[in-house]
């Protein structure tokens, strides 16, 4: 009997996924749990393993097709098999497919627990369970694995890449010859947008056409926070095994401000305003391929400073290495984006739907500032930062948005050392 390969459900709200690449062709012989295709949702990319060993009898959808969750996308069986569905309900097939995916992840976790010194777990790159298994069996080191040029989506190393590496007789040490520069005119390069870029473009246009964007800006004196971080970042890393960046300071101030201005955390539901009871904080992360993703810190109001620091660091790290779960990149009620990390003084963000506001954080620069003292005005050097709030004028007026932004400024400028212990 042929076995159906089902488009898996990668998240609670995920209803469809796009096929990025088939790793097999009709007639290919595959092993159980071997990656047979890569898929993408509007949140994350994922590899789909084969539910059984056998020969690929039929591929029902091609590359770039968007397929509903639960649809049959391929069939696997023996070469002599007649292509027959296993007649199980789609819901049951979907459950089994998800169990296969979860089983692969569970096996990898168990391996990591059995050997804490497993060097592959230290890598920021994503390697499928099959690639890791081959590498371990063939005694390929992490350094060697990282040196393999991947031909998969976003440069991922697949089965063919690692087998080609093993079969190569030697690695050439010959230097690459210098390219001869010629005086020629180059034709314009044209390439299609990848799936993630297309989804970002779609969401940005949707947001522009949905929300009435208005902007308010303010400057913040970050001097106390800069001094505190410079003094404590090394000890913080040693004590908590987490980098101390400026992000948790900003998130902490935003959460406190939202609790006083709950409309900022709301969303529109037809003609009604829905007040979200939890603050699900979206934090925009730039990816190595120059795309963008927004992982979400769920129920962020329940976390203390250390919890925010660890959550933000963990989500950002896994986002950049392609290891986020789809549920971790959806459900935000407010979003923070930080163009300042790339040197921008300030930014003007596009609201992440269905949120009604987004905060853009500028870079921190030391510059002369006038300060009032009991002896008169003086000019001092301070570490200053611009904040820009984009908000939906359909439900948030300028006075409300500006007061909210001023409250963030207040919490940042009145930072006290003992707040990180709370």
What is the assigned CATH class of domain 195-421? alpha beta
pTM of the model: 0.65
What is the assigned CATH class of domain 3-114? mainly beta
Catalytic residue among 65, 124, 164, 393: 393
- Per-residue model confidence (pLDDT) at position 192: 87
- Per-residue model confidence (pLDDT) at position 394: 96
SS3 19: strand
Domain 120-171 fold = Dihydrolipoamide Transferase (4.10.320)
Distance CA 53, CA 35 (A): 11
Q: Are 43 and 92 in contact (CB under 8 A)?
A: no
pLDDT at 422 over 80: no
Q: Are 315 and 295 in contact (CB under 8 A)?
A: yes
Token readout for 376 is: 């008169």
Sequence ranges of the domains in the chain: 3-114, 120-171, 195-421
For 107-121, 161-175, 271-285, which range has the lowest pLDDT when averaged over its residues?
107-121
SS3 178: coil
pLDDT at 183 over 80: no
Catalytic residue among 124, 164, 397, 417: 397
Q: Are 74 and 3 in contact (CB under 8 A)?
A: no
| Segment 350-404, tens digit of pLDDT | 999 999 999 999 999 999 999 988 899 999 999 999 999 999 999 999 999 999 9
Distance CA 178, CA 176 (A): 6
Assign 177 a pLDDT band (cuts: 50, 70, 90). very low
Token readout for 56 is: 């690929």
Assign 99 a pLDDT band (cuts: 50, 70, 90). low
Token readout for 373 is: 């003292």
Assign 209 a pLDDT band (cuts: 50, 70, 90). very high
- Per-residue model confidence (pLDDT) at position 178: 47
Q: In the block, which residue shows the tokens 């697949």?
A: 158
Token readout for 185 is: 């005119």
Q: Among 388, 385, 43, which residue's Cα sits nearest to residue 215?
A: 388
Phi–psi pair at 417, nearest 5 degrees: -55, -35
Token readout for 247 is: 């992000």
Cross-strand partners of 222 = none
Q: Are 302 and 16 in contact (CB under 8 A)?
A: no
Active site residue 393: yes
Question: Which residues, including other chains, have CB under 8 Å from residue 7's CB and lie 6 or more apart?
Answer: 16, 17, 39, 67, 68, 69, 70, 71, 72, 73
Given strand 3-6, what is the order of strands in its sheet? 3-6, 72-77, 54-59, 29-30
Q: In the block, which residue shows the tokens 């984009």?
A: 390
Cross-strand partners of 38 = 21, 47
């Amino acid at each position: 009997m042929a076995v159906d390969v089902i488009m898996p459900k990668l998240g609670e709200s995920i209803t469809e996924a796009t096929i990025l690449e088939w790793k097999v062709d009709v007639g290919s012989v595959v092993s159980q749990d071997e990656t047979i295709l890569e898929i993408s949702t509007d949140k994350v990319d994922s590899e789909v393993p084969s539910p059984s060993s056998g020969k690929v009898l039929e591929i029902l959808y091609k590359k770039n097709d968007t397929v509903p969750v639960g649809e049959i996308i391929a069939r696997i069986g023996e070469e002599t098999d007649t292509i027959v569905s296993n007649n199980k309900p789609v819901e049951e097939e979907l459950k089994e497919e998800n169990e296969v995916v979860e089983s692969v992840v569970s096996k990898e976790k168990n391996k990591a627990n059995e050997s804490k010194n497993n060097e592959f777990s230290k890598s920021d790159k994503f390697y499928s369970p099959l690639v890791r298994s081959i590498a371990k069996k063939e005694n390929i080191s992490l350094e060697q694995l990282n040196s393999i040029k991947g031909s998969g989506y976003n440069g991922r190393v697949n089965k063919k890449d690692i087998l080609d590496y093993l079969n190569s007789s030697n690695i050439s040490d010959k230097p690459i010859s210098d390219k001869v520069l010629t005086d020629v005119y180059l034709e314009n390069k044209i390439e299609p947008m990848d799936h993630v870029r297309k989804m970002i473009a779609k969401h940005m246009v949707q947001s522009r056409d949905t929300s009435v964007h208005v902007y308010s800006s303010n400057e913040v004196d970050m001097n106390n926070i800069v001094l505190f971080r410079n003094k404590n970042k090394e000890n913080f890393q040693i004590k908590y095994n987490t980098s101390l960046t400026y992000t948790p300071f900003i998130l902490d101030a935003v959460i406190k401000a939202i609790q006083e201005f709950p409309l900022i955390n709301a969303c529109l539901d037809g003609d009604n305003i829905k007040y979200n009871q939890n603050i699900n904080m979206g934090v925009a992360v730039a990816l190595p391929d120059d795309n963008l993703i927004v992982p979400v810190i769920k129920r962020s109001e329940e976390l203390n400073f250390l919890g925010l620091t660890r959550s933000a660091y963990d989500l950002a790290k896994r986002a950049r290495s392609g290891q986020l779960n789809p549920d971790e990149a959806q459900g935000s009620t407010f979003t923070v984006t930080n163009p300042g990390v790339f040197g921008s003084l300030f930014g003007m963000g596009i609201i992440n739907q269905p949120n009604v506001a987004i905060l853009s954080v500028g870079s921190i620069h030391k510059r002369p500032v006038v300060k009032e003292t009991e002896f008169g005005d003086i000019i001092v050097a301070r570490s200053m930062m611009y904040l820009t709030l984009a908000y939906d004028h359909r439900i948030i007026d300028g006075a409300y948005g500006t007061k909210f932004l001023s409250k963030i400024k207040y919490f940042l400028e009145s930072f006290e050392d003992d707040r990180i212990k709370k």
